[in-house]
Amino acid sequence: MSVLKPFSKLPGLKTATILLVEREEQFQQSLADALVEETGVTVNVRLAKSLPLPVENEESRPRIDLVVFIINLTSELSFQSAEASLKYLDAGYFLGKVCFMVTNARNTLVPTNRLDGVRKLAASLQCPLLFAEDQTPDGVSNATERLLAILKVAAGLVPMATALYLSNLTRCTVPPDIDQPSFD
């Protein structure tokens, strides 16, 4: 069990690698298939249920430019797994190379405190928080476009933009009254 480091390997030419971490693997595969179809740049997609990654293939593993934690709000285990996996990332990843993607946020059965917990986690790590619709092809396509934009910057493929700068523009913030009871 080793800590994943962002700058331990050299980058590839016009290549970007993304690691999708999802406990349930429901949205992960459809998102991976859509990401690989990108034609402007070579996108390598790695899938994991949780971190740490196995040590066996560490030598052949490419540099991972962006880590995306996909959290299904209908599952408490999904949030706990993402939270537990964070300790296996080097601090350098939190300089613009980590983001959270939430699915099923519109579901009325989801407790509001679970969404608040994800928002607080993303805000405390100063990471972007994306919302995605995983049930429709358009939702998958929109999520893919947003991830590709972030991935290209994180991989250094966009001139005059850095992952840290983009992270500062898109990071999640928590309103000061989030701990106050709602009147719903």
State the Cα angle at 16 between 14 and 21, rounded to 5°. Answer: 170
pLDDT tens digits, residue range 95-134?
A: 999 999 999 988 888 988 999 999 999 999 999 999 999 9
162 three-state secondary structure: coil
pLDDT at 165: 78
pLDDT tens digits, residue range 8-66?
A: 788 888 899 999 999 988 899 999 999 999 888 999 999 999 999 988 888 888 999 99
pLDDT tens digits, residue range 144-165?
A: 999 999 999 999 999 988 888 7
Domain 16-170 listed as CATH 3.40.50.261? no
The Cβ of residue 178 has, within 10 Å, a number of other Cβ atoms equal to 12
